[in-house]
Copies of this chain bind each other. A is one copy, B any other.
Amino acid sequence: MSELFEQLKPHLERAYAFQTALRAISWDNSTLAPREAIENTSKAIGILSGEEYKAQVNDEVKGLLKELEAPGEQEKLNDSERALVRKMGKGLRKLEKIPAEEYQAYSELLAKSYPVWEQAKNNNDYASFAPVLQEVISSQKRFRRYQQEEGQTLYDVALDEYEEGFTVEILDDFFGKLRTALVPLIKQIREKQELVQDGFLNQNYPIEKQKELCRFLAEYIGFDFNRGVMAESEHPFTTNFHNHDVRITNHFHEDRLDFACFSVIHEGGHALYEQGIDDGITMTPIGEGTSMGMHESQSRFYENNLGRSRAFWMPIYHKVQELFPEQLGGVGLEEFYRAINKSAPSLIRTEADELTYPFHVMIRYEIEKMIFQGEVSVEELPAVWNRKYQEYLGVSPDSDTNGILQDMHWSGGSFGYFPSYALGSAIAAQICHHIKQVMPLEEYLEAKNLAAVREYLKEHIHKYGGARNTQELLLAMTGEAFNPDYYIAYLTEKYTELYQL
């Protein structure tokens, strides 16, 4: 046992308590709080955020971490403790390189940039957002320059923030392969749109019945309601207080069935990750999913690799029909399967189908890379955006609202974050391929046995939380580092069959 580590614990516990407070308030704001509450409540949020920051970033913690990183001390730590020290040490070192007053100014900039973006999006007025975006980009590039290490491009530094070890080199290869293999596929499908019809998903589906179905689906995939909660919010999301309190939300549309169904399976995948974290590390800095990409891999695995497969619905589709006899009584399983997999290029990332989805991400990636390499001005961004949509997806945004302004991430300085969305799907395909090697997945699904795959994921991914990064987890589980080939093979095979190409 390390005495130094014991000294670190009270700091971690305080930081955790403030984080819990912030998540509780944030959850409440998104699901329940009355309309006029936020202005007052945000004062408490501001103070608690400051306290959370100070509990983790202070001279005492810095000193302890430095000592704990010494080889003699490392020997006294167990695996989780070493991982925690490593993660916190890395984070602090990156943060330290940014002068405190610049960071403060940046925080204030972000506080004001969100409403500017929101209004610009509502008014389809990119020009009003451009100056703030320019400031955010300048700060981001300056900060990444402070943090840049030998051999890293500037954008690599940003990428590493969200997915450790994933560089421009890896992502160029990933997206390059996607482009080569899938752009032609998407073009072919465009000409065979009539082969897949999903009109029957657009009937009236009473919300109470949808809720019943979603509750069933959550339980079916193994979401533990003794350690979790389901609620409603404007946009579906998952949040976690600790491994015994994980929450998902949904949003219901009376005129569309599949949105809510796949949202609950998607968020359920995130939630299973968090419910599967080991008791020994929950409520610590390594007590949640290791990265955004790995998290997204779990949600996408459940949503797409399982949830959009024939085998998943085979044993339960009759239940859906029983809930909606008028709407789906005459629709067979195969028809349903085809409808929930319909692919058609569209403008909005969050509404995209499984096949075209990664292109929305790729476009954002290519543009972010250009920004960090100084190859494009803020003024030129909408034109570049629209050109790329035409090139890859064959569609042109009718407005910046439905184009470059659609996502809030840039207003929050989240550059380098988007690629994780596509990485998640690719990791999911790699995991799925591996799982099929070690168990008869389709047979299990057809037999309603979802426990086997859930336990396997828990054992090889979930329980470790942030103690291992994506590459380490993949390598240990599948014997191979990240490999996008499985993703391309999966999409190609699935959509070739679906559209008879």
Interface of A with B (CB < 8 Å)? 13-14, 16-18, 20-22, 24-25, 27-28, 32-37, 39-41, 43-44, 47-48, 51, 225-229, 231, 241-245, 282-283
Contacts and interface: CB of A to CB of B under 8 A. Distances in A.
Given A34-B245, A35-B226, A36-B244, 15 more contacts: A17-B43, A17-B48, A18-B21, A21-B21, A21-B22, A21-B24, A21-B25, A27-B28, A33-B245, A34-B226, A34-B229, A34-B244, A39-B244, A40-B243, A41-B245
Contacts of A13: 43, 47
Contacts of A48: 17-18, 21
Contacts of A14: 47, 51
Given A21-B24, A21-B48, A24-B25, A41 B241 contact: yes
B36 A25 contact: no
A227 B28 contact: no
A47 B282 CA distance: 16
Contact of A20 (B41, B231, B241, B282): B41
Nearest first, the 6 A-B pairs at minimum CB distance are A21-B21, A17-B47, A37-B245, A20-B44, A17-B44, A40-B242
A13 B48 CA distance: 10
Contacts of A245: 33-34, 36-37, 40-41
A41 to B, nearest CB: 6
Contacts of A231: 32
Contacts of A21: 18, 21-22, 24-25, 44, 48
A40 B243 CA distance: 9
A225 B34 contact: yes
A34 B282 contact: no
22 contacts: A14-B51, A17-B47, A17-B48, A17-B51, A18-B48, A21-B21, A21-B44, A24-B24, A32-B231, A34-B226, A34-B227, A34-B244, A35-B227, A36-B245, A37-B242, A37-B244, A37-B245, A40-B242, A40-B282, A43-B283, A44-B241, A51-B51
A283 to B, nearest CB: 6
A486 to B, nearest CB: 35
Contact of A36 (B24, B32, B35, B227): B227
Given A16-B44, A24-B28, A37 B227 contact: yes
A48 B28 CA distance: 18
Contact of A32 (B25, B44, B229): B229
B16 A20 contact: no
